[in-house]
Structure 1
Amino acid sequence: MPRLLAILATTHALIAPPSQRHGTAQRAIKIVDHVNMNHEKGRHDLLKAFYFDLLGFAVDPRKMENLDKGKKTLWANAGIAQLHLPEGKPEAQPLDGRLTLAYADLDRFDEARLNAAHEALEGTKFQMRANADGFDVSCPWGTPMTIKIDGEAADPRGVQDGEASAPLHMTDIALHVSRGADLAGVQRFYTSVMGVPEGDCTLVADQLLQLKIGPAQTLSFVAKPFGKANHAELGEDEEGRPTNGGVHISMYVDDLGAVYDRADALDLAYVNYRFKRRAHTKDEALDQCMFRVLDVIDPDAPENGAIVQVEHEIRSCVKPDGSKYKSCPLREV
């Protein structure tokens, strides 16, 4: 794992030199706006102590009443991005990967705040260890995170609703793939289906694929040192329809219809009956401003099946009438 972390750190510098971060190049994926992962049912106290009190995420006002009630989903805002934290049934859902959080400075992590966090989170999987650039952290349920200083990390294009978070940004979402997985095929999925430019993709030693998303964010796929990667929890609802209770990532794209056409041509459009919004057709996708994909495949060899299963909630920045979709955090689309 240390070797892979070193590769990740090196590749950040290769992809996004600070002087180039806020360019205006057009990309099909505008932003990965949220990661959805379950927390332990009934433990909003742990969410509050970790995400809000320690890390400085802001409570999204659209879910504030749930914090007051101590149940159901919370949204934790980090500048322009956020985490969606629904209740598990009852277990939590640690990310099989790593999140990187960049702060303008690390002043908030003083002795008093760290001591309070250790006390509030005692008995959980929470850990926080200093490294040369910041901290390595585990959430109360084991999701690994890296905290670092980066004064240029904030994305100036928008912000989530409500009070501002601490000056932080989710600069990288790293997801594991099983050892030996075809990362070149994953790259072809993102260039051919999702429209990521070839120049925004970096493949390192068959161990890491990193995609530049927006001016200060990357989406990475990292070979797992051992074991199989797992992001999906597949099942059926009471009527026998497919569900996935696993982690998902959400992203906004320039042209939802074009992305849907490319995904549908490979039979990748997916309906998850866990959620009320469901797009069975292109027209429904355009009407609802979203559709989902579960299987990441190589478009050059679709017969080989999924390289990795990770649910993508693919959203449109605009509604069918051309107005901005209400949840899109970008000021201009």
Structure 2
Amino acid sequence: MGIESSRAVDLAAHFCVGRWKQVLPDLDLRLPTETGRKTTLVSLEHLNVNVPEWNSENETFWFKAMGFAPDSRTQGVCQTVQSSGGSMKGLVWANAGLQQIHMPLGEPPPMEAQKPAGVVGLAYPDILGLRATLRAAGVNFSGVPLKDHMSTLPGVGPAALQCTSPTGVKIYAHGIRAESWLTPRGWLDCEAARKQQLGLPSEEASQCMGMPYIRLQCPLGSTEGLAKLYKRVFNTESEFRRGSEGGECWVPIGVGQWLIYQEIAGDIPYDGYHIAIYVNCFVDAYRAAKELGIVWNNPRFPGLSYNSEHDALRHHEFRILKLLDPDSLQLLCEVEHEVRSLSHTGFCAKSWLEQDPLDMSS
């Protein structure tokens, strides 16, 4: 056994143990029982979209208009990718509370500009102030169609306005009641979060408080297979809802986030953007993805490969690209997932892991 004591069975319920007896931390999400949420997905941390160059238009949109904050880690990350032979020419990370938009610069065609087929949901405590800021920055915005208000999100108001980034990322802005960050355990007052040592390295606080969801388009008839995939790989129970054009698969993440797949008719382009999620039961997820043959090495990051469980543990992550029906193995769609363990250096709530009650010292 990985731990030579009778505690091993009990620990297995709280920690993920690899074949190399490497113990990975999990986080008790304290999911509200009335919601029926069953998920091992802890945090939807970032969306990665390539941008051809960083110019005044991008700077104004993300930092002045949308109220994101620059992350101080980007130069070091960019240098690491470049030193491993990656094609990245530059990098901007824009922080929204504890979530982010990552924007690599100067990638070669046809990957130089990316945008998800769908919409990114963002949360603000002052929608009227956001409207004024957008007007002052010269950013066009409009109302959101009633069918897309999405008023059932916990702690989040209906979508109040929509706008689009200079490179085509569509955004819905929602109001929240107070200045709170969206954490893996739900909304938490910013000051309380800082006292609990949560946060991302920014010289200034972001006006955007978080990213409650990313809503992606998928082919008609694919949501049932997508739900089965998240159950098979991540042991996560999705919800089915009726959307404006077809079925929707709502994948729960943490206490207050969603990854939503919206069925639509017609072709749906995929240009290589990716999302990053932090998960409990990391080794179990890797093994399930490996068994399905969907573990993927992104050639943009030659220093990161996940051919073995040892590789995934060493990098604290793995990636998948092709989303299959796990029973028929039919390809449903492509969305790159960067799947991270909680031992990854980027996890925003490491202090919570240290506070969890199980003592690993004996």
Q: Bigger relative contact order, structure 1 or 2, given CA contacts below 8 A and separation 6+?
A: 2
Which of residues 41, 45, 49 is equivalent to 1:37? 49
Equivalence for 2:293: 267
Answering whether residue 310 of structure 2 is matched by residue 283 of structure 1, we say yes
Task: State the match for 2:134 in structure 1.
Answer: 114
Cα gap change, 1:309 to 1:30, in 2 (>3 Å): same
Amino acid across the alignment from 1:114: L
In 2, Cα distance between the equivalents of 1:127 and 1:21?
41
Cα distance, 1:299 vs structure 2: 1.0
Q: Is the 8 A contact 1:257 1:282 kept in 2?
A: yes
Mapped pair 1:330 → 2:330: no
Deviation at 1:329, TM superposition (A): 1.2
Alignment deviations for residues 119-158 of structure 1 (CA, whole Å, 9 cap, x no partner): xxxxxxx631145852111111222110111227732454
Paired residue for 2:268?
229
CA positional deviation for 1:209: 1.0
| Structure 1 residue 28 displacement after superposition | 1.3
More off after superposition, 143-152 vs 88-97:
88-97
How far has the Cα of 1:186 moved from its partner?
A: 0.3
TM-score (norm 2): 0.70
Rounded to whole Å, the distance in 1 between the matches of 2:256 and 2:305 is 31
The residue that corresponds to 2:73 in the other structure is: 62
Residues 66 and 260 (structure 1 numbering): CA distance in 2 closer, same or farther, change over 3 Å? Answer: closer
Q: Give 1:292's aligned amino acid.
A: R
- The aligned residue for residue 151 of structure 1 is 177
CA contact (8 A) 2:279 2:342 kept: yes
TM-score in terms of structure 1 length: 0.76
* Residues 1:211 and 2:251 aligned together: yes
Aligned to 1:89: 108
Cα 1:135–1:64 change in 2 (3 A) is farther
1:1-333 mapped onto 2 (5 Å cutoff): 27-39=39-51, 41-63=52-74, 72-87=90-105, 88-89=107-108, 91-111=112-132, 113-118=133-138, 127-131=140-144, 133-151=159-177, 154-157=181-184, 158-162=198-202, 163-178=204-219, 180-196=220-236, 198=237, 200-204=238-242, 206-225=246-265, 227-232=266-271, 246-275=272-301, 276-302=303-329, 304=330, 306-318=331-343, 325-331=344-350, 332-333=352-353
**Deviation, structure 1 residue 159:** 2.6
CA contact (8 A) 2:119 2:214 kept: yes
Tell whether the 8 Å contact from 1:66 to 1:74 is kept in structure 2 after alignment. Answer: no
Deviation per CA, 1:151-210: give whole Å up to 9, x if none.
2773245432223211421011011112x24210000001111221x2x52343642111
State the Cα distance separating 1:214 from its structure 2 match.
Answer: 1.1
| Bigger CA radius of gyration | 2
Conserved 8 A contact 2:121-2:212 = yes
Give the count of matched residue pairs.
278
Secondary structure of the residue aligned to 1:270 is: coil
Q: In structure 2, do the counterparts of structure 1 residues 204 and 255 end up closer, same or farther at CA, with 3 Å as the change threshold?
A: same
State the Cα RMSD in Å. 2.8
Match of 1:191, SS state, is: helix
Q: Which runs of 4+ in 1 moved over 4 A?
A: 19-26, 64-67
Contact 2:141 2:163 in 1 (8 A): yes
Offset, 1:230: 2.2
SS at match of 1:95: coil
CA distance in 2, matches of 1:23, 1:30: 16
- Measure the CA separation in 1 of the matches of 2:36 and 2:247: 29
Q: What percent of counterpart residues are identical?
A: 26
Structure-1 separation of matches of 2:324 and 2:136: 45
